[in-house]
A and B are shown apart, each in its own frame.
Chain A
Amino acid sequence: MSTKHSKAAEVFLEDRDHASWHNESLWFVREKRDKISKDIPEWEDLREISGKIKMHTISHLDQYLEQFTKNAEANGVIIHWAVDAKEHNEIVYDILQKNKVKKLIKSKSMLTEECHLNPYLIDHGIDVVESDLGERILQLMDLAPSHIVLPAIHIKRQQVGELFEEKLGTEKGNSDPTYLTRAARKHLRREFMTADAGMTGANFAIASTGDIVVCTNEGNADMGTSLPKLHIVSMGLEKVIPDLKSLSVFTRLLARSATGQPVTTYTSHFRKPRPGGEMHVVIVDNGRSKVLANKDHIQTLNCIRCGACMNTCPVYHRTGGYSYTYFIPGPIGINLGMLKAPSKYFDNVSACTLCFSCNNVCPAKIDLGQQIYKWRQNLDNLHHADPVKKMISGGLKFLFTKPGLYNTSLKMAPVINVIPRFVLYNGLNEWGKGRELPVFAKESFTELWKKGKVK
């Protein structure tokens, strides 16, 4: 039984050159992260404190959300609450309608992906323009992001060149990244100038001040909120942190973990609406509050969406974001998908070698690997355990609990070394697919020990 992930991965891997290029691109980002994290001797202390601040905040979330709301409202910001994606989309559309907005310019927001906001608004006649370069490329291609921070990491420059040639009228055959970025800058300048409202996500919401903090490199969130006077923020309720002192920890971790930069170019604090304008914040639950009661998976609420777990994951590297069935891929996405709907997203839990590299890079020290392991242990209860592997596991359990039989079979094991390949590697041996069996030693460790051969 193959999972949807492994089937999609097989297709991804058919183009060996592309797959290996994808793998190297991600590894490049991971190496940058390693290098820059070593620039700061207190790096591990920062990770430790960050995880603790998050655990404290989410375990006092009602208080911090109320404090944030009180302060933001005192600053003139209008706060909305959305129980689910549907309510979020309706609130946003309602704000747009009241302000007679025809064109909305957006900066990157995974929450609006989660809520499927764009198609909803487009269906209601709003012109929605993504302004992050990667997001805009994907929007013009009608594709979803394959990574939460590097949305178009799977797209080659030639594809962008061809796309821009068709959509933006760039030179034929020119796929130089600088040339294409300049073309997008020019194109999006027009969009910024003619937009009626700007929408951003929120990297952090500061309870003690009511600030919304947005971190970007391109300056698109800032352009989108500096021209149109209406600013709408879409924010998951776990984005709140206590104060600016806490934020000092996260601003040191976020960009270093995400892209290996010392900080993002812009760290913008939106405290009040623009003079003569409006600022709205939509606080979204959409299943998050439920996770608070789940002790095995509560730490997923600590995620600051840096993408480091994807950049380090050997499975993500080699299979690409689209192989996962949940819209957020990689280790954090496997867990978030299972929390959303286990029976729908269980295919992803096998997309993990349990190497735990994700745990070691996560700036909030989330136990990503342990969580995936726990989901797997529970697959049988969800009736999604692979029957063949289950049978093999059952057989091994039988064997491991009977020492005599175990020793006899060990003695027999070297026989496998000389069995012809077609007997071993066929459709019946699930573990022979994509793997080589080890060469079995002539003598087992027990035998060597007994004969005094182990020094």
Chain B
Amino acid sequence: MNSKEIILSNIKNNIRTQYEMPEINLKAIEYTDKIVRFCDVLTSVGGVGYILKTGENVNEAIKSIYPNAKVIASNCNDITCATMNPDKADDAHQLTGIDLAIVNGELGVAENACVWIPQNVVHKAIYFIAEEMVILLDKNRLVNNMHEAYDQIEFSDIGFGLFISGPSKTADIEQALVIGAHGVKGLTVILR
């Protein structure tokens, strides 16, 4: 027998009682104003929620939030303030020195400020390697909690997807919170 067969047969032989799968239909928390909750939690995890006003241009908004960003990477069609398209890079290693990455998110979660991103760029490194990041999100695409989120998310063909809640962080030195570990050092979610 190979290792797989040995392990599976050990498992079969050692199982004594079999337990039923529980119904996962608990009454999970809902919020009267999902946008407010989402932005509050995002602030608490070190990010910023920015609600685009009617008629406000998203590129102008980004420039006002990040006036010092020089190298701006995005593959989003309507992001004219981008200085480069990260999809054009032959290799992820070329994506260094990016001040700001701008990407599309698909779904936001009010309970924990997560945004679901099915890989929608050629090199997923762009989600982590830039200094700061903006996620563009349709404000009508907010759900209450993770149960609703996992019911709705979809993957792209690339076969990678992730939830992001705020910028990267660590508290590994004396439990002192430091925003900006290995991933982005700042994150703004623009709800539009």
Chain A residues near B (Cβ < 8 Å): 25, 28-29, 40-42, 45-46, 49, 52-53, 55-56, 59-62, 65-66, 75-76, 81-83, 87, 131-134, 137, 150-153, 155-157, 160, 177-178, 180-182, 185, 188-189, 192-193, 217-220, 222-223, 226-227, 237, 242, 244-249, 251-252, 259, 261-275, 283, 285, 289-293, 295
Contacts and interface: CB of A to CB of B under 8 A. Distances in A.
A366 to B, nearest CB: 14
Nearest to B125: A226
28 contacts: A45-B27, A53-B22, A55-B19, A60-B15, A62-B12, A66-B8, A75-B159, A81-B7, A160-B173, A177-B173, A185-B182, A192-B182, A217-B170, A218-B168, A218-B170, A219-B168, A222-B124, A223-B129, A245-B151, A248-B145, A248-B149, A251-B163, A263-B165, A265-B166, A267-B162, A269-B161, A289-B14, A291-B14
Interface in B4-20: 4, 6-8, 10-20
Contact of A266 (B24, B92, B183): B183
A219 B181 contact: yes
B96 to A, nearest CB: 7
A219 B176 contact: no
Interface of B: 2-4, 6-8, 10-22, 24, 26-29, 41, 44-45, 92-93, 96, 111-114, 123-125, 127-129, 145-147, 149-151, 153, 155, 158-176, 178, 180-184
Given A217-B168, A265-B169, 11 more contacts: A42-B27, A178-B176, A181-B178, A182-B180, A222-B127, A222-B128, A222-B162, A245-B150, A264-B165, A265-B165, A291-B14
Contacts of B124: 222, 226, 274
A56 B146 contact: no
B172 A283 contact: no
Contact of B150 (A46, A157, A247, A275): A247
Given A150-B172, A223-B129, A266 B178 contact: no
B172 A290 contact: no
A292 B16 contact: yes
A132 B11 CA distance: 33
A259 B171 contact: yes
A275 B151 CA distance: 27
A42 B172 contact: no
Between A82, A137, A272, A290, the greatest number of chain B beta carbons within 10 A of the residue's beta carbon is seen for: A272
B45 A151 contact: no
Contacts of B14: 289-293
A208 B28 CA distance: 23
Contacts of A289: 7, 10-11, 14
A66 B29 CA distance: 34
B128 A134 contact: no
B189 to A, nearest CB: 13
Minimum-distance CB pairs A-B, first 6: A219-B183, A272-B159, A218-B181, A134-B172, A226-B125, A262-B112
Contacts of B166: 265
A236 B162 CA distance: 22
A181 B28 CA distance: 37
Contacts, number: 241
Contact of B29 (A42, A83, A87, A192): A42
B181 A220 contact: yes
Contacts of B145: 248, 252
B173 A181 contact: yes
A133 B171 CA distance: 9
B48 to A, nearest CB: 15
Contact of B21 (A53, A132, A267): A53
Contacts of B12: 62
A293 B16 contact: yes
Between A252, A263, A264, the greatest number of chain B beta carbons within 10 A of the residue's beta carbon is seen for: A263
Given A217-B181, A244-B150, A271 B173 contact: no
Nearest to A270: B160
A267 B116 CA distance: 9
Nearest to A179: B178
Contacts of A41: 29
A424 B57 CA distance: 81
B162 A49 contact: no
A185 B184 CA distance: 11
A41 to B, nearest CB: 6
B10 A290 contact: yes
Contacts of B162: 222, 266-269
Contacts of A25: 174-175
A40 B150 CA distance: 18
Nearest to B155: A271
A357 to B, nearest CB: 20
Contact of A45 (B26, B112, B172): B26
Contacts of A156: 174
B15 A28 contact: no
B36 to A, nearest CB: 15
A70 B105 CA distance: 30
Contact of B7 (A83, A269, A274): A83
B7 A285 contact: yes
Contacts of B13: 293
B128 A219 contact: yes
